[in-house]
Structure formats: C-alpha cells, structure tokens
Amino acid sequence: MAEIISYVQPSRLYRYRSFENLDRELQAIREGYLHCSPYQQLNDPMEGLFASGQLLRKDKKYREIREAITNTKANIGVCSFSEVYDHELMWAHYAGQFKGICVAYSLSRLMKNLGDDLTFVRMFYNEKVPTIDHSRRHPELLAKRVLSTKNYRWLYEREWRMFAAPGRASYTDPSCVTHVYLGSRMDPGSRDIVRRVIQPLGIKLSDMTINKYSISFRSKPQAQAAEHT
C-alpha cells in the first residue's frame, strides 16, 4: 500500500500579532508559550464545518459518530502560523493594519521543546467542506482532519496549525523564537516597549520599510538600538 510522506518542512513558521493586548503578546514571548484557541474563537465562521458522506449516514452509529467528532473538536486548541513573514495582506488582517508584529519560530526547535501530544499540520484548501464517510478511525483523527481544511479563498495565508489542548502550550527553549518583525505603522511608544522586552532575550529585531508596492525589513545596529532601552 502506498503512503504519504512529507519530505520538506519549513525551517521557520510565523505568527502575525496585533497590539490590542501588547502585554499579553510580549508575555508569551518572554515566558515561552503559545496560546491555543478553541476553533469557535477563530475569525472564520466556517471553521469546523463538515459533511456526512452517504456511507456514514447509513451507519447505525451515525449520530453517535457525528456527536463524537463535534465534541472532540470543541476540546482541541488551535495555534495558527504562516509560512511567510512579508505578506502584505497578513500584516493588514492579523497584525493590526501594520501596527503589530510578526514573530518567527524555529519549527525544529518547537517540535523538540513542546509536548509529545502536540501535532503540526499544513492546511488543506478546498472549495467544499470535508466529507466524513463511514470510518472506524478515532474521533480525534476525524476532528483534526476537519480542522485541517479551509475554504480555498484563504489559500493566501499559507497556514500551518498546531493542535494542542486549549490554553497555553509551553516550550522550554527560549531560542524557539528567532526573530521579531515590527510593522511600519507601530507607534513609537509601542516600538520602545517591544525593544526593551525583546533585546535582553537575544532575539533579532527588524523594522519594516515600505518602498512603493513592496515591503522589506532592516535591523538596527545593537549600539544604536540600545538608545531606546
């Protein structure tokens, strides 16, 4: 029987964060954890939808299986990442209209330092909701399959997800965070706060610059950046 194997994985994953709660975002970096939300709290109201295939509908345990999938979904926490850090739409939608930050994580270090019960998946984009047919698979596998599928209109996000229990997922190595990118519209006060928290941790900081229809990032020399601390 053939099998599916992924031979390539990104070296970095990125989280775009707004500054609606600046202290919370910096605390997560300083204390070394990722927050996992129930799927109902994600911004897409279509999250978690699925269809029942004909075989499943004929199963005597049809209602029981559907209920098990639904209940299991509610107990899975989701932490979303992107494969890219320089996507203008992501900065606009998830980083407070360029006022927030993008945090870079080493995927290999996260996998070594997070719990064994966590899983990473690359999202699958489709025009239709996932269909669950007659299956003897565990409800958790079916629930994660459902939560690994989104409408193709979200394809631009290039999303990866981490599944864990809702709440904090702690990692033990602070070097899991490799870089913090600052949005071009971040106000000077917030920028100074970020520098005071991030620089002592030895994490790289880069400021966004905009040139016509493109964005790039530059790092300030350490001595110059120290003036802000």
Reported as a single tens digit per residue, the pLDDT across 34-68 is 999 999 999 899 999 999 999 999 999 999 999 99
Question: Quick one: pLDDT at residue 72?
Answer: 96
Question: Quick one: pLDDT at residue 1?
Answer: 87
Question: 168 pLDDT exceeds 80?
Answer: yes
Question: Quick one: pLDDT at residue 22?
Answer: 81
pLDDT tens per residue across span 178-212: 999 999 999 999 999 999 999 999 999 999 999 99
Residue 181, SS3 per DSSP: strand
Domain boundaries, given as residue ranges, for the chain: 12-228
| Average pLDDT over the chain, rounded to an integer | 91
62-73 vs 139-146: helix axis angle to the nearest 10?
60
Question: Quick one: pLDDT at residue 146?
Answer: 96
Question: 223 pLDDT exceeds 80?
Answer: no
pTM of the model: 0.91
> What is the share, in percent, of the chain residues with pLDDT greater than 70?
96
Question: Quick one: pLDDT at residue 221?
Answer: 54
Cβ contacts of 45-48, under 8 Å, gap ≥ 24: 46/129, 46/150, 46/151, 47/147, 47/150, 48/73, 48/146, 48/147
Question: Quick one: pLDDT at residue 224?
Answer: 42
Question: Quick one: pLDDT at residue 3?
Answer: 85
pLDDT (average), residues 136-140: 90
